[in-house]
Structure 1
Amino acid sequence: MLKEQTLSYTEHVVQRGPYHIYAREYPGEEPAIVLMHGFPDTLHLYDRLLPWLSPPRRVVTFDFLGWGASDKPAGYPYTAANQVGDVDAVIEQLHLRQVVLVAHDASGPPAIDWALAHADRVAALVLLNTYYCIMPTLRPPEAILLFSTPLVRNVARAVSKAFHNLLFRKMYWWQVGRFMREAEDREEFLPLLYQQFAATPSAQPAFFRLNEDLLFTVRDRTKRIPQMNAFRPPVRIIFGASDPYLNVGVARRFHELFPTSELFLLPGAYHYVQIDEPEQVAHLLLSTPLAHEA
């Protein structure tokens, strides 16, 4: 179900060293909900969800460095570890005291890293079809596997850029199209999310570098399982049950690793669960128990 509503928001430019992160803030009640995108998308991933959240809640969305409307510095180390600094800069400069962190896809590692390091400021952690550490059923999407596998990725990058990025564009349309259930959503969101790759500067360097960092990140974060086991703020896991990649098995493993977590699987929803089922996701998000209520 679509909710047609014109939302008012304030644009922010968040300083990250010499670079700028683009953010939007929607007014409402505390604690603020911070929505984070993965790859290969932008803050527009939450366009369907936002009308169901604000009002009543204060909501912040932003583009990580290298993506969307944020700066895309050449030669920048686009890694999960560096994205933690993006999250921190947004939270600090927008003066967010307690936050509900919402992670999807590649924002899982920076969101969970920040939450583990600042548990006293986490009102809740919400995980939407995301990843963090090694898990038995975790399966990267075909394009991500191609660009994250050593040696293969070097050839893939060169080939994908041929014919003025024609192959990259076709692969993007095919892969990201598989993340959504409805044809009308693909028609709307594929061009919108691809814009950043056709722009100058392009989001391609961030996409390639974050893929290069993927295997290391997943192996490295496996060392933090004891911290996940000890995490006490509320955790709500909301996964599209029809996602073949960040799948039901991944959701259940997160549920095992976070003792305070609740698990919700949405039948028929794909990887972009917030596009396929925005009303259900919003209801579950707004009803998430908050740490300060305990």
Structure 2
Amino acid sequence: MELPLVVGVDGSESSLRAVDWAADEAALRGLPLRLVFASLWEQYESAAGGGRSSEQMLADAVVEAAAERAHRREVDVKISTEVVPEEPVPVLLREGRTAFALVLGSRGRGGIAELLLGSVGLAVAARADCPVIVLRGGHDNQASSTMRGRVVLGVGKEPEHSAAVRFAFEEAAERRVPLEAVRAWRCPGYETTDHPLMAGEPARLHEEQAVQALDAALRDAPEGVDLHRRTAEGPAHKVLLDASAGADLLVVGARRRHGHFGLQIGRVAHAVLHHSSCPVAVVPQRA
């Protein structure tokens, strides 16, 4: 059974871009597409009694319009829809247990500032069991079908065979574009040429460690992908935000620790989710 690509829809322009992007991705990977609308309208209108509520009719209309839009964009993709009378976050997290990935807009209908990720997207990206793709970049209701030419992978403290590395290679291979793997490094200010281990070249050790980390993460790189390795001095979030300009997708990892509750997402992933110039894929890695 093929796992579906699940999109959270709510009728906003941002979620329509997510539908477009997910339809293209589903066609690229040969996956079914599932469109889900979650809302608590039933809780607020059940006391009124009677037939279908206006909110339920709106939800049905939203998912129907989203399905038609996806079908027009990718006619061969199998599409299913569901409207669920629950809070969006638990619904999407539950959907993520049996999904290839979750795709979300960067903000919903709640008036969140345009540059920042909404609370639903952040909560899902920080807790989901599957990759979460957030449609950063662009501020209209169209997802560009033109591939810009590269996937960017942010290499942090990933173990070998990490899920984020595998996901990035798959995306680059499916899109037939180069993969740029980036590892940021910094030389702490207290490490000067007077430091006994850093005499003469205070930055060289840190740069070499970054190169070694990059090599370790990419040790099992598959054949057929045009791989570019790059180290860059600076804060990791800034390096990756700069790299996101002109990219098709930015891929970062997120550690999930067994028994830990709340948001499990690092500062770097948090920053790029809010400010990336391109879509961001947060790929969970079980510790």
TM-score, normalised via structure 1 length: 0.27
**More helix by proportion, 1 or 2?**
1
**Max radius of gyration: which structure?**
2
